[in-house]
Structure 1
Amino acid sequence: MAIKLENVGIAVRDLEATIAFFTDLGLTVIGRDTVSGEWTDTAVGLDGNHARIAMLQTPDGHGRLELFEYLHPKAIETEPTLPNEIGMHRVAFSVDDIDEALEIAAKHGCHPLRGVATYEDVYKLTYVRGPSGIIVMLAEELKKN
């Protein structure tokens, strides 16, 4: 059986603010829609499912995020995920310049959870708390091939 990762779906509080954050980091919006009806109720498992969605893609064309803002049922606010919680952990991106990426994130009020670390002189990396509490890992490869 062939399998490939299609996308990572993330429910967000504010679709436009989240799109702005990820597009400023370099992703591109490749589609938008408002979805509802029996097919979405069945696929998602929520009666009366109605959401605004956007599909974003990384510049290399391989990574995609599907962002969705629920109109119905009402979105449920929860405490932001901690790095050691079971379940969806984070979304990670390689960047050419971590300092530039952090400047972009800061313009959206998003900052590292603690700081920037260096892993074995191979990567500089950090976790940033993004829009809607999303943990976003940014990593810059130090030893380029």
Structure 2
Amino acid sequence: MAVTTRIIPGLEGMDHVGMTVANLDEAIAFYSTLLGGKEIFRLGPFDARDFDQVDGKDWSEAHVNVADGRFTLAMLEYANGSRLELFQYDRPTDRPATPPKNNFLGGHHIAFKVKDLDAVLALRNEYALRFMAGPIEINDGPAAGQRIIYVLDPWDNQLELVEYDRK
């Protein structure tokens, strides 16, 4: 792979993170109600069979690298302006039923900033989250002052709750 040191012209920064979910309505409810996102738009369904081919590939394979895809998406926005795009694929159906773990290629987590991690932890039994061990307290180095805990959403997607500058 060729590597360049030239930045993409006009790059303004990261816009959103996308995640595929099994049920779009359930995921929107979860990521809105529990985590404060607001649905700002929903698009689709987009079906590769309804569009012309592009460069010899069906529409979804040409655009999102999924052959014969049919999907709907929704964009959620959070108070700080960050966005989460949720996809539900109705086709193809031959895919893993669980998300990748962090050590798998493509593994990931999404971090949400909280003001008071202790307040979250005090109510941990009220949330539809599975809390991992922790919190992890970082006392020195470039991340000093952070406290984090990892959680799993109802579909086993890994999330991080992070508190900065604890006093």
Which bracket does the TM-score occupy, shorter chain normalised?
0.7 to 0.9
State whether structure 2 residue 31 is matched by structure 1 residue 22.
yes
| The structure with more strand, counted as a fraction of residues | 1
State whether structure 2 residue 90 is matched by structure 1 residue 67.
no
Q: Which consecutive residues of structure 2, in runs of 5 or more, have no partner in the other structure?
A: 1-8, 52-58
The 3 A distance-change label for structure 1 pair 13 and 119 is same
Contact 2:75-2:83 within 8 A present in 1 as well? yes
Q: Give the match's secondary structure for 2:96.
A: coil
Q: Which consecutive residues of structure 1, in runs of 5 or more, have no partner in the other structure?
A: none
Contact 1:21-1:105 within 8 A present in 2 as well? no
- Larger relative contact order, structure 1 or 2 (CA cutoff 8 Å, min sep 6): 1
Q: Give the match's secondary structure for 1:132.
A: coil
Structure 2 residue aligned with 1:44: 64
Q: Give the match's secondary structure for 2:27.
A: helix
Task: Give the root-mean-square deviation of aligned CA atoms.
Answer: 2.4
Aligned ranges 1:1-145 → 2 under 5 Å = 1-3=9-11, 4-23=13-32, 24-36=34-46, 37=48, 38=51, 39-61=59-81, 63-74=82-93, 76-101=95-120, 103=123, 106-108=126-128, 110-120=129-139, 122-143=145-166
Q: Percent identity, please.
A: 29
Kindly provide the amino acid, as one letter, of the partner of residue 2 in structure 1.
G
Kindly provide the amino acid, as one letter, of the partner of residue 43 in structure 1.
H
The 3 A distance-change label for structure 1 pair 135 and 35 is same
Higher gyration radius (CA): 2
Question: Partners in 2 of 1:127 and 1:41 — Cα distance?
Answer: 33
Kindly provide the amino acid, as one letter, of the partner of residue 54 in structure 1.
A
Kindly provide the amino acid, as one letter, of the partner of residue 145 in structure 2.
V
Q: How many residues align?
A: 142
Q: With the length of structure 1 as denominator, give the TM-score of the two structures.
A: 0.81
